[in-house]
Every structure is written in C-alpha cells, then in structure tokens.
Amino acid sequence: MKMIWNKLTSLLSRTALVSGAWLATAAHAVNDLPGGPAVRQLNLAPPVTKIAEEQQWLHWFMLILCTVIFIAVFAVMFYSIWKHRKSVGHKAANFHESVVVEVIWTIVPFVIVILMALPATKVVVALKDTSNADLTIKATGMQWKWGYDYIKGEGEGISFVSTLDSSHRAMSNAGGPPKGQAVDDYLLKVDNALVVPVNKKVRIITTANDVIHAFMVPAFGIKQDAIPGFVRDTWFRAEKTGDFYGQCAELCGKEHAYMPIHVKVVTAEQYAAWVDGERKKAAAKLDDPTKVWTLEDIVKRGERVYAANCAACHQANGKGAGPIKPLDGSAIVLDTDHTKQLNILLNGAGNGAMPSWKQLSDTDLAAVASYTKNNWSNKTGQLVQPSEVVALRAK
Ligand SMILES: [Cu+2]
C-alpha cells in the first residue's frame, strides 16, 4: 500500500514539474495579444463596445438562469423519486387533468421565456440598427483578403486591400513560427489595417467577390456574412483606442485561415491625420504622367521617394553596403542613357536582391531616378521625365 502511495506521489510531483516547465516555456513562446486572442483563453474577448458588453451580459445571464433551472428541476425530480420510492411503501398516485399543475407548467416557462426574450430582443434590435452612422465602410471578402472602401463620412473615397503580412505567410509555409520566437499576432498581422476613429458609429457593409466570407471582430461583438451579390451590414462604436483583431468566420476555401482582420481604433486627431496621409498617397498615384517637370521640383520629389523606398538598402549617403551597390558614382546612374537605370528600377536586378519598383507611379520613378542623378557626387544635371517611364513600361 505504502509503495503504491510513494509511486503515486512521485508521479504526481513529476507531472507538476513537467507541466510547470512546459507552462514556463509556453509563456516565453507566446503571450496574450491585446485586442486579439489570449493564451488558453476561456471567456469571450474583453468587450470594447456597448453591444459586446450587452452580449456578454446576456450570455452569463442565460447561462446562470439555465443552470438554476437545471439544478431546481433535477433536485425536485431526484428528491421525488427518492422520497416516494416503492420500498418505503409509496404507491403510485393516479390523477388526470390537474388544472393546477397544468396552469403552473404553462405559466412558469412562459415567465422564463419572457425574462430571456426581453433583454435578448433589445440587444438584437440594437445590433441591427445601422442608422445614423458617422462612417460607412464597405468590407469586401475576397479569396483571400479583405478590401475596404470608405464610402461615407470622414475619409470618404479611401480604398485599399488588406492582406496577411507576407512574413507570416512564410512562417506558416515553414510549419509555424520559429522555435522559441514569440509571435503573438501569428497569422493576424496585415499590411494595411482598417483604421477607424474611437467613439464614432462605424457601419460596415459586407459583400464578397467570390464565395461567402464573414466579417468578425469578437471584441466589438460583430459577425456578419459577406455574400457575393448581396449587401449586408453591421455596426460598432469602439469605446477604446487600440488594435483589435478578427478573422474571416466562414469557411471560404483553402486559405480561409489567412484572411485576418486588423482594426486600428485611433483618436479623432490621429484619424484625421491618417485620412490626410491616405489622400496624399492617392493624389500621388493620380499624378499626371505627361506633366513636364523642372529639375528642382522633381529632385525634391525624388528625395522623398528615395528616403521612403531606397535608403533602407542604399543608405542615405548613397554608398550602399556589401552586395548593395553604391549609387553615388555608379556608372549606371551617371549614364546619359536613362533607360539603363529605369530598366533596373522597373525590373529589379541581382536576381531580386534589388527589387522591382514597378508598383511606384511613373512620376515617383522618374523623380527618384532624377534624384540619384543629381545628389551626392552625382551632379549630372540630367532630368528624367515621367513620360520616359511611361514609354519604357509600354515596351
Ligand atoms: Cu473568407
């Protein structure tokens, strides 16, 4: 007996040790993601909207009510069976059409249903009331990304696509995050987050381009199918700034798990600044490629393009580093034949070590080429016009 006891306690303490160690490494490997899933999360997501709060209140209210009914009914049942068992001499009663019993078992459930239906109806009606929104955004589900179009309100006209961050795709292809690395937002990171202002009613119109998707953000208490050829809507008013995460919630094909939703809730000022930035970006894309620039203007424009896209590799001083060739003094940059540099910018070089920049606008490409030709020791006085980029693209 003693031996068994010893074995058991040693086994128990070993399990405790092992699971303790496992917990420790797990805590090191991944942490709760604020606004997203938590490690071994049990409860619903912490609510950030009134609706989500009310949903969670309903959830607990119903659960507790049902538990109380369950316990009461079973207690009465077991008590009755036990108390009136045959072995202590009870005889089965034989009655029919007891008005009292029938009235009770009609009225009591009726009261319970009303007790549940009243608050539930209130929340469902509020959930569906998308009127008087400050901001209307269309969310379009696509295999496998989300398109966002700001339709009405501040930021009207902004439109972009939100895709899973490519590094997360690469991690997933490799079987998950590297061992020991904390990736709390694994498969939830996107390139362009949906940005909305705090404390404003945001109406989300959902639709889809291909198959049925669903727009879901648990912290907001919203989940709405996005159906091709149909328009559905939902709304939220986030009461806290921060980052909140969701995912497509309708199995939509093999990459269903790769279409996360990232909502960035910001203050009114931050939102205005973001809208301004997006407007500028859109305006830059709309640059007239037939415009003829002066050297001074285009170099100034090119300086910004260079800082944003090229300096990370070629350095602000144009000297490059290691395999990244210097642009300061580069024969290709200095050449009077502009196509030499433009071809590299459009197509990349060194097997992709120098990426292709064809996603930049004609004006931006001409500007950055002009900048490199007239900066550092490169004082060529050469001016590359956007029309040259247009001509080269057409080839
Ligand atoms: Cu989907």
Close Cβ partners of 242 (under 8 Å, ≥ 6 residues apart): 34, 35, 48, 264, 265
Q: What residue spans of 251-352 are helical by DSSP H?
A: 268-285, 295-309, 311-314, 331-334, 338-347
How far, in Å, is the centroid of ligand 1 from the Cα of 349? 36
Instruction: Determine the 3-state secondary structure of 217 from DSSP.
Output: strand
How far, in Å, is the centroid of ligand 1 from the Cα of 245? 15
Burial of residue 38 (CB within 10 Å: 0-12, 13-18, 19+) is middle
- Mean pLDDT (the chain) is 89
Close Cβ partners of 45 (under 8 Å, ≥ 6 residues apart): 37, 52, 218, 219
Q: What is the pTM of this model?
A: 0.61
Residue 226 has pLDDT above 70, yes or no: yes
How far, in Å, is the centroid of ligand 1 from the Cα of 248? 5
Average pLDDT of the segment spanning 353-374: 92
Total Cβ atoms within 10 A of residue 260: 25
Between CA 141 and CA 228 the distance in angstroms is: 9
Between CA 150 and CA 364 the distance in angstroms is: 26
Average pLDDT of the segment spanning 116-130: 95
Length of the chain equals 395
CA dihedral 115, 118, 120, 123 (to 10 degrees): -150
Residue 284 has pLDDT above 80, yes or no: no
Distances (CA, A) of 26 to 39, 42, 137, 172, 190: 9, 17, 38, 19, 24
pLDDT of residue 4: 46
Nearest alpha carbon to residue 278 among 157, 140, 189: 157
Tokens of 260: 């996360």
162-210 pLDDT per residue, tens = 999 888 988 888 888 888 788 889 999 999 999 999 999 999 999 999 9
Tokens of 263: 């909502």
Average pLDDT of the segment spanning 112-126: 94
Q: What residue spans of 84-195 are helical by DSSP H?
A: 99-128, 166-173
Ligand 1 (single-atom ion) residues, CB below 5 Å: 213, 248, 252, 259
Phi-psi category of residue 318: left, alpha or beta, with phi > 0 → left and psi -120 to 50 → alpha: left
pLDDT of residue 28: 56
Close Cβ partners of 204 (under 8 Å, ≥ 6 residues apart): 137, 138, 139, 215, 222, 224, 233, 234, 235, 236
How far, in Å, is the centroid of ligand 1 from the Cα of 125? 26
Task: Tell me, letter by letter, the H, E, C secondary structure of 3-53.
Answer: HHHHHHHHHHHHHHHHHHHHHHHHHHHCCCCCCCCCCCCCCCCCCCCHHHH
How far, in Å, is the centroid of ligand 1 from the Cα of 226? 8
Average pLDDT of the segment spanning 76-82: 94
How far, in Å, is the centroid of ligand 1 from the Cα of 142? 7
Q: Which of 8-17, 327-336, 348-357 has the lowest mean pLDDT?
A: 8-17
Instruction: Annotate 67-83 with b (16+ C-beta within 10 A) or e (fewer).
Output: eeeeeeeeeeeeeeeee
Q: In what order do the strands lie in the sheet with 232-236?
A: 159-162, 145-152, 135-142, 202-208, 232-236
How far, in Å, is the centroid of ligand 1 from the Cα of 359? 26
How far, in Å, is the centroid of ligand 1 from the Cα of 153? 27
Nearest alpha carbon to residue 285 among 195, 158, 383: 158
256 pLDDT band, cuts 50/70/90, is very high
